[in-house]
């Protein structure tokens, strides 16, 4: 059973929301677009791996995008799969055409045919995550759970080359489609020890959401974020409110609910709450009662004490 499904990570959500709201001349515009592309590529790769892991969903407990904290240090696991016998940690990698893994120097070199780039050695990264995960289990009185890890390549076209010990790589690095069989092979040699669902629930209870101030990293200030309702068809910012509709000034497309995305962008990029005045500024409308109606429609909760609206923690409006 899959008890935690992957959502678009918050830093990527923020990048996707902020980029159309910046002037193309913004100082770090190209760097923001580059980071968005990279994060999207990683996210899509993780979803590819999810497809294969979900083939085992009826036999075990799966958690995607697990973010845990132990001994004051947080760590992120792309997927955790628990059977009655062991836990399997999966690191997804969306590498380019060719990857060279050097088991002696612990180096990872990516090549697209023209340029070579060195990146973190994925096995060391996965080994460290395994140690952190074992610390987590020990802290929750589950020290006897065997833990295995895999580095899964999401692009079936990636060619793996090894320099050094092939055997070290062959059992740890694989393409996504091989994962179910590799997990079952290990599992079949072990004995039942615990209830995977209970273990999964313990992990789920401790899971947080990974986030960081990505806008600050690129020097995006609130004043750089262009207000306005975005056209769902052409992306133009600044749809005009006509009777019961939003109308795009650029492509003349009409929308009844384009404001939902704008309010969501505000909550994601500017503040976790919104006032009626801020809503009017950001949506470029003048009517106070229209703003109230819109905020209600977005299922926001009114906080009388501070005269502002906020999202219910378990509710997203996108």
Q: Cβ(63)–Cβ(203) under 8 Å?
A: yes
User: What is the phi/psi pair of residue 238, to 5°?
Assistant: 115, 45
Question: Applying CB under 5 A, does 236 fall inside the site for Zn ion?
Answer: yes
> DSSP of 131-155, one letter per residue?
HHHHHHHHHTT-TT--EEEEEEES-
Q: How far apart are CA 276 and CA 290, in angstroms?
A: 9
In terms of Cα–Cα distance, which of 120, 96, 93 is closest to 107?
120
Q: Provide, rounded to whole angstroms, the least separation between the CB of residue 241 and Zn ion.
A: 14
Closest by Cα among 284, 275, 170 to 236 = 284
**Triad 89, 95, 96: Cα angle to 5°:** 170
Return the residue of 18, 229, 231, 283 that touches Zn ion, per CB under 5 A.
Answer: 231
- Nearest residue (CB) to Zn ion, 9 versus 228: 228
- Site membership for Zn ion, residue 253 (CB under 5 A): yes
237 contributes a contact to Zn ion by CB under 5 A: no
Is 229 a binder of Zn ion (CB under 5 A)?
A: no
Pick the stretch among 37-45, 204-212, 253-261, 292-300 that binds Zn ion (CB under 5 A).
253-261
Binding residue for Zn ion (CB under 5 A) from 47, 127, 251, 288? Answer: 251
For residue 18, the minimal CB distance to Zn ion (Å) is: 19
Options 38, 120, 250, 318; binder of Zn ion; rule CB under 5 A: 250
Contact range with Zn ion by CB under 5 A, out of 74-82, 97-105, 207-215, 231-239:
231-239
CA distance 241 to 258: 10
Selected binder of Zn ion within 248, 268, 279, 291 (CB under 5 A): 248
From 87, 96, 90, 86, select the one nearest 119 (Cα to Cα). Answer: 96
- Member of 139, 234, 315, 318 binding Zn ion (CB under 5 A): 234
Binding site for Zn ion (CB under 5 A): 231, 233-234, 236, 248, 250-251, 253
């Amino acid at each position: 059973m899959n008890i935690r499904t992957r959502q678009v990570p918050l830093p990527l959500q923020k990048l996707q929301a902020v980029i159309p709201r910046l002037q193309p001349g913004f100082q770090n515009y190209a760097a923001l677009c580059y980071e968005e592309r990279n994060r999207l590529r990683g996210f899509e790769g993780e979803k590819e791996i999810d497809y294969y892991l979900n083939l085992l969903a009826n036999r075990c407990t799966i958690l995607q995008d697990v973010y845990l904290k132990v001994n004051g240090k947080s760590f992120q696991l792309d997927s955790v799969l628990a059977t009655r016998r062991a836990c399997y940690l999966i690191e997804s990698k969306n590498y380019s055409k060719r990857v060279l893994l050097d088991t002696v120097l612990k180096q990872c070199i990516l090549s697209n045919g023209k340029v070579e780039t060195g990146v973190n050695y994925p096995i060391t990264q996965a080994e460290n995550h395994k140690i952190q995960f074992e610390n987590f289990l020990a802290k929750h009185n589950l020290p006897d759970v065997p833990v295995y890890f895999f580095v899964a390549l999401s692009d079936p076209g990636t060619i793996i080359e090894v320099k050094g010990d092939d055997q070290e790589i062959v059992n740890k690095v694989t393409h996504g489609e091989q994962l179910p069989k590799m997990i079952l092979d290990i599992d079949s040699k072990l004995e039942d020890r615990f209830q995977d669902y209970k273990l999964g629930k313990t992990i789920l209870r401790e899971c947080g959401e990974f986030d960081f101030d990505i806008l600050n990293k690129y020097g995006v200030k609130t004043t750089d974020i262009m207000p306005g309702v975005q056209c769902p068809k052409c992306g133009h910012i600044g749809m005009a409110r006509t009777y019961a509709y939003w109308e795009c000034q650029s492509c003349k497309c009409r929308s009844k609910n384009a404001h939902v995305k704008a309010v969501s962008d505000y909550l994601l990029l500017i503040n976790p709450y919104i006032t009626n005045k801020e809503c009017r500024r950001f949506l470029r409308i003048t009517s106070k009662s229209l703003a109230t109606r819109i905020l209600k429609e977005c299922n926001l909760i009114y906080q009388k004490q501070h005269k502002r609206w906020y999202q219910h923690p378990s509710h997203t409006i996108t």
